[in-house]
Amino acid sequence: MVEKEHTGISMQRQCDLLSIHRSGLYYQPRTTSKLNRELMRLIDEQYLLRPYYGVYRMWQWLTRDKGYKINLKRVRRLYRLMGLEAIGPKPNTSKPAPGHKVYPYLLRGLEIEHSDHVWATDITYVPMAHGFMYLMAVIDLKSRYVLNWSVSNTMDAKWCAEVFLEAVRMHGAPKILNTDQGSQFTSEVFTEAVVKTAESKLSMDGKGRAIDNVFIERLWRSVKYEYLYLNPPADGLELYKGLKHWFNDYNKDRRHTSLYGEVPETVYFAKKPQATEAA
């Protein structure tokens, strides 16, 4: 379908012509042992239900309730690999990574008035049949519309910046982008993409507070329970196709009670500032 060695048409152009994202084409899932895959799947499910579980409580649950004979170091290593952290205050939670700037939280008490007023983005672990990948999505908070998404086998800041800027090219820039304090989002590569290139304000949650990004956390729960846990994809291309179908259904067909029975796509385009001004 795509010729990697084609001399006349670049990989990017071939992907554009086929309407597929490069990340779904050539990224391979990260491999790990069968036991680690089992543990990561269980940790992921339990974390969605109880995001306040830290390493120690998760280790207790895995050993006492699930019967796994594993040590605490393994669970801590898997938490890091999956990019997980228990919610709730902890010592030095406001301390940024060395050389990284943390931006203030701008959503407290803010009334979101229209589409593209506030976007949010996050990364989550994606279980697969023979490994795992990471999924990033950008969502409009007024309409719950998923503006862009991508999969990768690393949580790379450049990848995060590209996914955000691709959303900007397709839909225009938001006034505010909200993220957590993950090292990808506090990196200079990502912050410059938001503040300088897109000229948006950057808002960051308090570290470890999943509730601040509640809408995208609900999105992760839905995509995992409705697709990924039921049908673990075998490779990146199968994952891409499955996610494309799921997000298309989410944007165009799923009715939300919080949107008064409307679907995200309808609300997003109806509430864009230019549509309001035209009216």
pLDDT in tens, 24-55: 554 566 778 889 999 999 999 999 888 889 99
186 and 72, same domain (yes or no): no
Q: Is the pLDDT of residue 198 over 90?
A: yes
Q: Which helix (H) or strand (E) holds 260?
A: none
Q: Is the pLDDT of residue 95 over 70?
A: no
Residues in the chain, total: 279
Least confident of 51-60, 187-196, 204-213: 204-213
pLDDT at 276: 42
174 and 256, same domain (yes or no): yes
Structure tokens at 185: 């989002």
Specify the number of domains making up the chain. 2
178 and 266, same domain (yes or no): yes
Question: Phi-psi category of 92—alpha, beta or left, where left has phi over 0 and alpha has psi -120 to 50?
Answer: left
Stronger pLDDT, 10 or 225, i.e. the higher one: 225
Q: Is the pLDDT of residue 219 over 90?
A: yes
132 and 242, same domain (yes or no): yes
179 and 269, same domain (yes or no): yes
Residue 122 phi, psi (nearest 5) = -160, 170
123 and 60, same domain (yes or no): no
Sheet containing 131-140, strands listed edge to edge, beginning at the edge strand earlier in sequence: 146-152, 131-140, 118-128, 176-179, 201-204
264 and 217, same domain (yes or no): yes
H-only helix segments in the chain: 11-18, 22-26, 34-49, 55-60, 72-82, 157-171, 183-186, 188-192, 214-223, 236-252, 264-270, 273-278
239 and 141, same domain (yes or no): yes
Domain CATH code at residue 127: 3.30.420.10
246 and 128, same domain (yes or no): yes
Place of tokens 């992921």: 44
Note down the domain range covering 72.
34-82
Q: For residue range 113-139, what is the model confidence (pLDDT) as tens digits? A: 999 999 999 999 999 888 889 999 999
Q: Is 85 exposed, middle or buried (0-12, 13-18, 19+ CB in 10 A)?
A: buried
Does residue 7 lie in a domain region?
A: no
Of the pLDDT bands very low, low, confident and very high (cuts 50, 70, 90), residue 68 is very high
Of the pLDDT bands very low, low, confident and very high (cuts 50, 70, 90), residue 275 is very low
Single-letter residue type at 149: W
Does residue 209 lie in a domain region?
A: yes
Q: How large is the average pLDDT for residues 67-77?
A: 95
